[in-house]
Structure 1
Amino acid sequence: MRPRLIVQLTGNAEHPLDWRCQDSTGSLVAAAETPAEAARGHRVMALVPGTDVLTTRVHLPVRNRQRLLRAVPWALEDRLSEDVDTLHFAVGERGRDGGVPVAVVARRLLGHWEETLAEAGLAAEQLYPDYLALPWHKDAWTVLVSDGLARVRTAAARGFACDAGNLALFLESALAEDDGEATPERLVVYLGAGEDPELAAQPLPVECHRCEDPLALMALHLDPRSAVGLRPAGVGSGRLAGHWRIWRAAAVLLAGVVLADAANNWLTYYHLEATAADQQAEMERIFHDSFPDAGTPLYPRRQMENRLQALRGSGDDGPPAEALLTLLQRLAPATAGREVRLTSLGYGGGALDVEISVPGLQAVEGLKRRLEERGLEVEVRSADNAGGGANARLDVRDGA
């Protein structure tokens, strides 16, 4: 078992909390000076004043837990003195007879207890009425009288608390109530220092024990499997819930930043992908214009490199490779614009024979001027209008 810290909310403004520590064997051990220090490495469970919590049972045919939670307040409305909208209802596990244990507490008190724990630096796993931490005997009711209060556990998930002076009256009323649960055969009574309630008139045998440390008794016998917790299952502690309220806006903002960054990354990727596609198409066009006999290129960059490498290695069987490469390096940037389309390219006599298709004759002059700026000598062999554009044939050679 994981070590536990049992914290009792006393209801005393000067001393609001008391606590006991248990080790992994369940034995009580010395606790730290503050509950926050004692809570380190421990499961924290809180006991709240039983005088402020009503526990009862209802028989409802509803099996769905959410519907059951909605139905319980109206099933108990006639038995409660306060408006159900101001109350909090917690339900336990359904018994074999179909009865469902219910704990009822004012919402304002539950909120106050949560705040008290949070101010002490505690994140309680669950809150229980203190009388449900008393020892439980199937054939007996358990009574603890200490500090002027009487706490009574009448069933695994039921009980009540009252002033010690009214204990006999409350016991008589509880014994007379027929709630479908077995009538006890005896009372097991634990008496704190200086306590001696009047129980002689009770019809049941009384078994008395002295109790020097009432909270230790409750800490040792708190069993979350049978006691009804006031906090709904799955709901975090008040401190954690408060932290979430504080950080919720930051979390929403962070989520927005993450989404915006993801959207920006996607747009950047889309833009780069489109640019890469355009560059691929441009490489294919240049390759086709430079080598029209090569057909449609599958890998234009690699095939261009292979063709140029073949030209470099042509040696004495053809024109000087370096002169041809120099002319091509100067020609390519000037013809890279989309307005110039190479339709034929040849080489001979130290000159390139270039046939182009352009939007108009002015574009021919523009290309001639760009080539001359790159140190080339250009002769326009022919130029004529054709189909809304112009065709031209140029001789291009090194102007040096």
Structure 2
Amino acid sequence: MSEYLVIRLFDNPSHAQWMVLDSFAQNLTPFKTGALSEISIEAENRKVILVLPAIEVLTTQITLPVKNRSRAIKMLPYSLEEYIADDIENMHFALGERNDDGKTNVSIVSRHSLDNWLQQCADVGIVPNFAYSENEGIPKIPGNLVIILDDGLTFVQTDTYISFVLEEPSLINVLELLKNSSIKDESLRHLLIYTDNDGYERYKTELPELQHRTSSVDAELIADGPLSIFSSTLIQSPGCNLLQGKYAPKSNWNQWLRPWKFAACLLLALGILAILNEGGRYMVLRNQHQSISSLIESRCNSSFQISEITECQSEITRRLTSTNNSINSALEPTFLHVLSTLSGATNKEDVIEALTYRNGVMDLRIDAATATTLDELARNVSSNSSYSATIQSANPVQNRVQGRLQIVGETN
């Protein structure tokens, strides 16, 4: 849940009011007053709202011909130029939300004043997120004219989003002023007044006349001033934030990261431990690699009189290739020679059904015409002094003989 520190500023930085509320506008700390320098510790991990003097911030409404916000902001100063006595270059214009009637809320303040307030905050380490006029904090209650009396000032809010502040007028004069304006009479029938004891003493003589002119007059005493009312309204229904354009708050990374400080330190420590662990493993593997390389170099030097591992590897490959070629050249002629001898000794009526050759020994399965022809085949092969043929079996099958013959080569 978000927490808000709401600070009401005055011309003198030694005089400020503040309180802390949650996102439901419930008070978390009591109302306090004192110097601005006493507030900085309260701002930690909270959103800061500045409530600025309404006497110095003009709030109004305007109908803009465009809906594009960036274009509307560019048009705004020139649309209001005729209503401002000062040079528009010296003024800061803030654009609010569009109301149901199509008009857009606008706040205007002197750049010098706004710079001064923000500098006062910066001097004590406070970075505000929002800045509103006091008028923006007056409650908007349909069908009611809301008036706040505070220290000689009269804050007025109609039910048509029109708000203003006057210095020490009578409430009768306020009603006359509104009656002569475009405000409908229906919105003046119910009067709701927030005031402190001094304000009540100021207007109580007018109470009979107010009751005569309106349908009802309700009064509520606010002993600590209107800050609690301003705060509750601005949290639940934000107004036109003056911190726009070049005054828009920059991301406060230090404040955002502060709650994660412990987790970040822990993560950093784990990262360092992981790096040290990998470094240790690297050193162990490096030492093992050096030991194995030294052993291989020693064996290569003793076997081939070569100390370089790459040259030793090439020599081993060359010798293995030479050995394989020698083996193949020794085996292939022997097999072919046995096969050639067998071909010359076989009778045309004999059929070789299967043949295997392994380690100089050839095993045959032969379908011979008779036992005699099988015996002749064995004798013909054996007549070659290099081979010996032996009949392993001879079985008569359908007027023929199924025989097995083994030929042993000269190497065996």
**Normalising TM by the smaller chain, what interval?**
0.5 to 0.7
Match of 1:6 in 2: 6
Question: Does the residue aligned with 2:158 lie in a helix, a strand or coil?
Answer: strand
Asked whether the equivalents of residues 7 and 51 of structure 2 are also in contact (C-alpha less than 8 Å), the reply is: yes
CA distance in structure 2 between the partners assigned to 1:77 and 1:170 by the alignment: 27
Question: Is 1:208 aligned to 2:219, yes or no?
Answer: yes
Question: Is 1:137 aligned to 2:141, yes or no?
Answer: yes
Match of 2:90 in 1: 86
Matched residue type, 1:84: I
Match of 2:234 in 1: 222
CA distance in structure 1 between the partners assigned to 2:186 and 2:51 by the alignment: 26
Asked whether the equivalents of residues 157 and 228 of structure 1 are also in contact (C-alpha less than 8 Å), the reply is: no
Following TM superposition, by how much is the alpha carbon of 1:96 offset from its aligned partner in structure 2, in angstroms? 2.4
Task: Give CA deviations for 1:283-306 in whole Å, capped at 9, x if unaligned.
Answer: xxxxxxxxxxxxxxxxxxx99776
Following TM superposition, by how much is the alpha carbon of 1:124 offset from its aligned partner in structure 2, in angstroms? 1.3
Question: Does the residue aligned with 1:92 lie in a helix, a strand or coil?
Answer: strand
Question: Does the residue aligned with 1:113 lie in a helix, a strand or coil?
Answer: helix
List aligned pairs for 1:115-126, cutoff 5 A. 115-126=119-130
Asked whether the equivalents of residues 25 and 231 of structure 2 are also in contact (C-alpha less than 8 Å), the reply is: no
Task: Flag the structure with higher helix content.
Answer: 2
Match of 1:97 in 2: 101
Q: Structure 1 113/171 Cα, relative in aligned 2: closer, same or farther at 3 Å?
A: farther
CA distance in structure 1 between the partners assigned to 2:42 and 2:183 by the alignment: 41
Question: Is 1:127 aligned to 2:127, yes or no?
Answer: no
List aligned pairs for 1:135-284, cutoff 5 A. 135-155=139-159, 157-165=161-169, 168-178=172-182, 183-195=187-199, 196-198=201-203, 199-200=206-207, 203-204=213-214, 205-214=216-225, 215-223=227-235, 225-232=237-244, 236-237=248-249
Percent identity, aligned pairs only, is 23
Q: Structure 1 156/21 Cα, relative in aligned 2: closer, same or farther at 3 Å?
A: farther
Match of 2:316 in 1: 309
Following TM superposition, by how much is the alpha carbon of 1:91 offset from its aligned partner in structure 2, in angstroms? 1.4
Matched residue type, 1:219: S
Q: Structure 1 304/170 Cα, relative in aligned 2: closer, same or farther at 3 Å?
A: farther
Q: Structure 1 179/26 Cα, relative in aligned 2: closer, same or farther at 3 Å?
A: closer
Task: Give CA deviations for 1:139-169 in whole Å, capped at 9, x if unaligned.
Answer: 1121111222222223575412221246654
Number of corresponding residues? 258
Matched residue type, 2:2: R
Asked whether the equivalents of residues 24 and 236 of structure 2 are also in contact (C-alpha less than 8 Å), the reply is: no
CA distance in structure 2 between the partners assigned to 1:2 and 1:109 by the alignment: 29
Following TM superposition, by how much is the alpha carbon of 1:177 offset from its aligned partner in structure 2, in angstroms? 2.6
Following TM superposition, by how much is the alpha carbon of 1:229 offset from its aligned partner in structure 2, in angstroms? 1.4
Asked whether the equivalents of residues 5 and 42 of structure 1 are also in contact (C-alpha less than 8 Å), the reply is: yes
Q: Structure 1 238/106 Cα, relative in aligned 2: closer, same or farther at 3 Å?
A: farther
Matched residue type, 2:316: Q
Q: Structure 1 67/236 Cα, relative in aligned 2: closer, same or farther at 3 Å?
A: closer
List runs of 5+ in structure 1 lacking aligned partners.
Answer: 244-301, 319-400
Q: Structure 1 41/209 Cα, relative in aligned 2: closer, same or farther at 3 Å?
A: same
CA distance in structure 2 between the partners assigned to 1:103 and 1:209 by the alignment: 28
Asked whether the equivalents of residues 132 and 157 of structure 1 are also in contact (C-alpha less than 8 Å), the reply is: no
Q: Structure 1 43/109 Cα, relative in aligned 2: closer, same or farther at 3 Å?
A: same
**TM-score, normalized by length of structure 2?**
0.54
Match of 1:69 in 2: 73
Q: Select the structure of larger CA radius of gyration.
A: 2
Question: Does the residue aligned with 2:198 lie in a helix, a strand or coil?
Answer: coil
Asked whether the equivalents of residues 136 and 153 of structure 1 are also in contact (C-alpha less than 8 Å), the reply is: yes
Question: Is 1:22 aligned to 2:25, yes or no?
Answer: no
Task: Give CA deviations for 1:18-38 in whole Å, capped at 9, x if unaligned.
Answer: 101124553223369831111
CA distance in structure 1 between the partners assigned to 2:82 and 2:185 by the alignment: 21
Match of 1:254 in 2: none
Q: Structure 1 229/148 Cα, relative in aligned 2: closer, same or farther at 3 Å?
A: same
Q: Structure 1 92/312 Cα, relative in aligned 2: closer, same or farther at 3 Å?
A: same
Matched residue type, 1:216: S
